[in-house]
Structure 1
Amino acid sequence: MKSVIITLLFTLSFSFLHAQKTRRAEDAKGLNTGTKAPLFSAIDADSSEFNLSAALKDGPVVLIFYRGFWCPVCNKHLATIQDSLSLVTKKGATVIAVSPEKPEYLDKMREKTGAQFRLLYDDGYKIADAYDVTFTPPLATLFTYNTVLNAKLKESHSDDSQRLPIPATYIINTKGIITWRQFDPDYHNRSTVKAIIEHLPVHETGH
């Protein structure tokens, strides 16, 4: 009986400490429209570098944050984006999708969704932190992700903090300004192709 009580107290203490040092999804606010978009470089599934500053010289960028290859909602969302990708690129935009997953896991996502746009590795959560979309799921939720969905967050990410991004979407114009966003702590709610196309800048040039 004594050992059970000790185990229970240890578990409660660990959960309390976890809650104290982590950030809830509701605490992430995301950068607002009108804000200068943080510039970044990151490698893709093929370990080739993407540079946001360089990409913006060619047209607006649609930046999508997603949780990982293990997330069914992310799979569906990115597959839908891919299905209508030509409608977005015809308006001169580049689509990129960012997650905390290492390149080999980005490749798994590419296989699942058929994504022909670039999937980028957010090493150390630097991009998600810069756009204020980072949070840590509760322990019970993490257990579900890692065991039921086989997320392997400690293995697939750059560290063992198991943080995730709010699955937000940003449109950045060629001046580097965020002109539209879709942001919702409820991961079920995602940007639609229709909304992205409607909010892309018209006749945008980088000059």
Structure 2
Amino acid sequence: MKQIALLLSFFLVTSCVFAQATPEGMFLNSKAKDFKGTDQNGNSVRLKDLLKKGPVVLVFYRGNWSIHCTRYLKQLQDSLDAFTAKKTTVVAVSPELPENITKTVEKTGATFPVLYDEELKISKAYDVNYEVPQNTITQFKRTNINLDEINGKNGFNLPVTATYIIDKESTVIYRFFQNDYKKRPTITELVSKLK
């Protein structure tokens, strides 16, 4: 009986050690982590500086290869006046290399900062990063999506579909965190959360 209990304990501990942590994202009313990145124009962008002007809508997207992501970034661009009227800055973050961010900007017309998440620092700080499972990598490759080429050193990592609104005090006042990459918050919903 003791051996069975020991064996069960061993399997439980080892499965916990080797299981990948599931991202949970930032929660409402938590303090947003400051970050710095380079946008599509080569400018250094820091959250702390943006918050001096007003709230920030922070959007994590997977890449220019994702029609759902590019469609959503285009919607944000098309509605940018609604955000600027509320003194709000929209910022998008992706693990894709800068040359691929250029493709995203070309597809979406984005004039708001689109940041390269070098070494996944931002997505890890916001707990939205996950390592893509091998079966999904294989499916992607069948459709000519090679994440290791698209993301460079960021490899086979993607962010969960997540959008946050961060107020001037660095508090997360809105959270959209969705494992289904096809879902996004509506522009109306985001604008309604801005004071």
TM-score band w.r.t. shorter chain = 0.7 to 0.9
| 1:22 positional shift | 7.0
The AA in structure 1 aligned to 2:31 is K
Secondary structure (helix, strand or coil) at the match of 1:183 reads strand
- 2-side partners of 1:119 and 1:22: how far apart? 32
**Does the 8 A contact of 2:61 with 2:93 survive in 1?**
yes
**Does the 8 A contact of 1:65 with 1:166 survive in 2?**
yes
Instruction: Check 1:194–1:104 CA distance in 2 against 1; reply closer, same or farther (3 A cut).
Output: same
Instruction: Check 1:120–1:146 CA distance in 2 against 1; reply closer, same or farther (3 A cut).
Output: farther
| 1:89 positional shift | 1.2
Instruction: Check 1:22–1:161 CA distance in 2 against 1; reply closer, same or farther (3 A cut).
Output: farther
- 2-side partners of 1:22 and 1:134: how far apart? 15
| 1:151 positional shift | 3.1
RMSD of aligned Cα (Å): 1.6
1:169 aligns with 2:163: yes
Deviations 1:63-111 (A, max 9, x none): 0000001001101111111111111111110000000012111100001
Secondary structure (helix, strand or coil) at the match of 2:161 reads coil
Structure 1 segments of 4+ aligned residues over 6 angstroms from their partners:
none
**Does the 8 A contact of 1:99 with 1:121 survive in 2?**
yes
5+ unaligned residues in a row in structure 1: which ranges? 1-19, 203-207
Within-5 A mapping of 1:125-136: 125-136=120-131
Secondary structure (helix, strand or coil) at the match of 2:178 reads coil
| 1:152 positional shift | 2.8
Match for residue 188 of structure 1 among 167, 182, 185: 182
| 1:146 positional shift | 3.4
**Does the 8 A contact of 2:96 with 2:152 survive in 1?**
yes
- 2-side partners of 1:160 and 1:60: how far apart? 28
TM-score (norm 2): 0.86
Secondary structure (helix, strand or coil) at the match of 1:140 reads helix
| 1:137 positional shift | 2.0
- 2-side partners of 1:139 and 1:77: how far apart? 27
**Does the 8 A contact of 2:73 with 2:110 survive in 1?**
yes
- 1-side partners of 2:156 and 2:169: how far apart? 34
Percentage identity across paired residues of the two chains: 39
Deviations 1:16-60 (A, max 9, x none): xxxx86737xx2111101000000100012222111101100000
TM-score (norm 1): 0.82
